[in-house]
Amino acid sequence: MLESLSSSLRERSGGKLPFEDLAGDIRGRLDQIFENKRMGADLLFMITYMASIITSDVSRPEIFAFTAERKEYVTSKYIGKVERFVKRWNYNYAKALELVAERTKNAMLSSMLTRYGNSISSGVPDDEFIRLELSTVRSVYRNHFEQGIEMLKKWGDAYIALMLSSTIVSIIIMVSVAIYAPTDLDSTLNSSYLLIIGIGLFGIITMYRSIPGDQKCHDNPTKGSYEQQTIKKLERIILPILGISIIIMFILGFNFGVIFLVIAILLAPLGIFGFIDDSNIIHRDEDFTTFIRSLGTIMGGKGLTVTTAMGEIDRKSLPVLSEFIDAAYSKLNLGLDDDMVWVRFINDSGSNLIYKYLNIFRDSVKLGGNPAEIAKVVSSSMLEQTLLREKREMLATGFIVLLIPMHVAMIAIFVFLFQILISMSHAVTSVMESFSASSGALSDSSANVGSSMSGMMNIFVNFPEEKMGFYITMVIIIITIANIIAGKIVKGGDNYMYYAFGSLLFALSGIVYIVTPFVVDMFFTIPTI
């Protein structure tokens, strides 16, 4: 049915679906944005791989062929294009690199390909160029990452200010509604929604584009660390329950604060496991830098196999990774397949850096490279990334410490004022009813005074409590979701960090939403006549 509908639409519109070109352009732009996020790290991975395999004296065609097969790097497809130009169209490597560089939209990769082509044209040996290029790429990556951290720091502060401004605008709109009671209330509230969403999107997109990507978890969808596998199992149970619970509670008219708390409670297990896994991966990556350098040095210095060299590594210097090393060592001693053992090691660690750099080390050793030199190259590149990650963690901690109290303050101010306006509306309505009941017994002059007073106080009588209650809830939801995404962007990590921030911020929003009416009734009692 859908195919016939698609075919008929194509026939009527000249062979294309409506907005097909626009959708393709949007998809292409998004793909380019996501690719650029990964480009800096993947370029470092690729050059590290090249610098590692050249220790085994591979030829230029082998360098390009082996690198093009590394599909886990987004940069490898461009090396594959160079391969096709050379092998299918008989271009030389210098010209092929020049052609691919001209067609590459990413400036960092284009510059690297151009330099490589120029070095080949100048007769510079590949090993000499790649070693120098590795130093260059590390410097460029470090500079790019540090600039992103500085930009993220500034835009993080700007995001907080922007969200506070949007909250103030929403408060002004709410007070204006209480005073003037506009006839076209829906359009006013819709404009406020669009304004808050627009401000949030602007801040989030700007922060997202400020810093290069730092993927912590590997891409294996079926395997991972204990925490990652637990999260995947719990997702199948918790997320459907969460969706059904929200729908049922909304239909039954539950207090939105209770709904927020239910969301927080259901997301809490996912968030806790996610936070634990994120912390574990950070520490495992730090230990792996020491492990791979020690392993390569022992293998190269004593001429030992991987299994024997692992037995001589000091486990005391690797407090987090030691259990994984012991597990791999025992399996290798039993004579199990090396590839399967190391795949299990990578899966259990859950780390993207361990996945990338361990494969670089093992491939280079298999090709006959010097383990000590390979380990030095690999550990140096990985150390560069782990040190930069520490800087980002410091920034993320500061941002989160600021974000959480500001989130509570924004929600609390908003809800407090709403409850105060409701109390004032009820008090004024009560007074107006008293004036109306006694107006017949007043003299003419007193009636004039009563009618004048009635006109002055009529501004709070028509406060649309139900509509504004829904407005408050929607604004809280928008602000909470925006802050969840902002926290995830600054903190980094896998998508399970959404659960961690979602559980925390929805819990705070729910508590404020539930507690505020009682606090207002306790401390803001408005006297009536």
pLDDT digits (tens, 9 = 90+) for 419-467: 887 777 666 666 666 655 555 555 444 445 445 444 444 555 566 778 8
Q: What is the mean pLDDT of residues 46-71?
A: 91
Structure-token pair, residue 501: 């921030």
Q: What is the pLDDT of residues 297-338, one digit of tens each?
A: 999 888 888 889 988 888 888 888 989 999 999 998 888 888
> Helix H segments across 334-443?
338-349, 352-366, 371-438
* Per-residue pLDDT at 11: 56
* Per-residue pLDDT at 6: 55
**CA–CA gap between residue 218 and residue 425 (Å, rounded):** 56
Q: Which residue has the tokens 């590390």?
A: 138
**Cβ of 37: how many Cβ atoms within 10 Å?**
18
Confidence band for 29, pLDDT divided at 50, 70 and 90: confident
* Per-residue pLDDT at 524: 67
Residue 333 to residues 296, 307, 315, 338, 388, Cα–Cα distance (Å): 18, 7, 17, 10, 36
* Per-residue pLDDT at 267: 95
Q: What is the pLDDT of residues 91-142, one digit of tens each?
A: 899 999 999 999 888 888 999 999 999 999 998 899 999 999 999 999 989 9
**CA–CA gap between residue 331 and residue 100 (Å, rounded):** 44
* Per-residue pLDDT at 152: 85
Question: Which amino acid, one-letter code, is at 16?
Answer: K
Burial of 115 (0-12, 13-18, 19+ CB in 10 A): middle
